[in-house]
Amino acid sequence: MIEAKEIVRGLECSRFGRKAYTFETIDSTNNCARTLAECDAPEGALVFAEEQTAGKGRSGRTWVARPGENLTFSIVLRPAFPPEQINLFPLGVAVAVAEGIHRSTGLTVECKWPNDLMLAGRKCAGILMESALAGNGFAYIILGIGINVNQREFPEALRERATSLALHAGHDLDRTGILQGVLGSLERAYDTYTASGFQGVLPAWLARAQMIGARVAVDMQGSIVNGTVTGISPEGGLQLHTATGDLTLFAGDVTIVTMDPYAPRN
């Protein structure tokens, strides 16, 4: 099990992960981090668990990861940026996680809209953020991240869609080093966004994305929209060309994006 003192030792961060709570088993690191945030935990407080019994995905879905082989953690953020600017933040977080993985493993992971991370078309990391938002701005954002590191076997239902860093590196990887690398990238990115805004996010995200020009099927509350990705809007929306016209999708309108590797690219 990764201990809090291992995380802190050699950590290149002034806040992220400096206060670390580690658990063998927990329901959800996001839930725990929210409780800490409600109890005035400092920005950057980290909750790490070897096993989640109710790990969270989008729309009530679960995040499943084998205990002791992966990284599942959550960070308490108290952002100063205004809520109306938040749309590009999830893309920026994806880029930061991708950079952290690259720095610590040499692996190049791709970004899939809005903030999944992929290796050869399969998901290797997921990000789910939850915020408390009132009239005066964010009370906090909980940044939840799951990275498949050394897991090599996946349940039947996920086998075609999930992968891990180790499967691509060809050997087991140092989980603590990856966690520290990702925390470092995230803190630097977050400080940049706080100081100078999100203008650098889109070019960085697009440089890591392979889905422009791809044909996708988007599940919007049960109705499927088929189209070709033409770009990302300045506000971070997914721009689609469909048989019935052009669309820009935001937020949770997209629950599933299926990339078609045989689609003609622009």
Q: How many CB atoms lie within 10 A of CB 147?
A: 26
Q: How far is the CB of 171 from another protein (least distance, A)?
A: 31
Between 11 and 145, name the residue whose CB sits nearer to another protein.
145
Q: How far is the CB of 6 from another protein (least distance, A)?
A: 29
173 to 192: interface string for another protein, x by CB under 8 A: --------------------
Residues numbered 58 to 87 that lie near another protein (CB under 8 A) are 58-60, 83-84, 86-87
**Binding status of residue 129 toward another protein by CB under 8 A:** yes
**Binding status of residue 141 toward another protein by CB under 8 A:** yes
The whole-angstrom separation of Cα 73 and Cα 18 is 14
- In angstroms, the Cα distances linking 203 to 114, 124, 184, 207 are 14, 22, 21, 6
**Binding status of residue 127 toward another protein by CB under 8 A:** yes
**Binding status of residue 158 toward another protein by CB under 8 A:** no
**Binding status of residue 253 toward another protein by CB under 8 A:** yes
Piece of the chain touching another protein by CB under 8 A; list 55-63, 95-103, 152-160, 182-190: 55-63
Binding another protein (rule: CB under 8 A), the pick from 72, 115, 148, 185 is: 115
Q: How far is the CB of 176 from another protein (least distance, A)?
A: 26
Binding another protein (rule: CB under 8 A), the pick from 250, 256, 261, 263 is: 250
**Binding status of residue 90 toward another protein by CB under 8 A:** yes
Write out the chain in H/E/C secondary structure.
CCCHHHHHCCCCCCCCCCCEEEEEEECCHHHHHHHHHHCCCCCCCEEEEEEECCCECHHHCECCCCCCCCEEEEEEECCCCCHHHHHHHHHHHHHHHHHHHHHHHCCCCEEECCCEEEECCEEEEEEEEEEEEECCEEEEEEEEEEECCCCCCCCHHHCCCECCHHHHHCCCCCHHHHHHHHHHHHHHHHHHHHHHCCCCHHHHHHHCECCCCCEEEEEECCEEEEEEEEEECCCCCEEEEECCEEEEECHHHCCCECCCCCCCCC
Binding another protein (rule: CB under 8 A), the pick from 22, 29, 31, 105 is: 31
Binding another protein (rule: CB under 8 A), the pick from 131, 150, 163, 180 is: 131
Contact yes or no for 101/182 (Cβ under 8 A): yes
Between 81 and 241, name the residue whose CB sits nearer to another protein.
81
Between 26 and 65, name the residue whose CB sits nearer to another protein.
26
State the residues that interact with another protein by CB under 8 A. 27, 31, 34-35, 38, 58-60, 83-84, 86-87, 89-91, 114-115, 127-137, 139, 141, 221, 235-236, 250-253
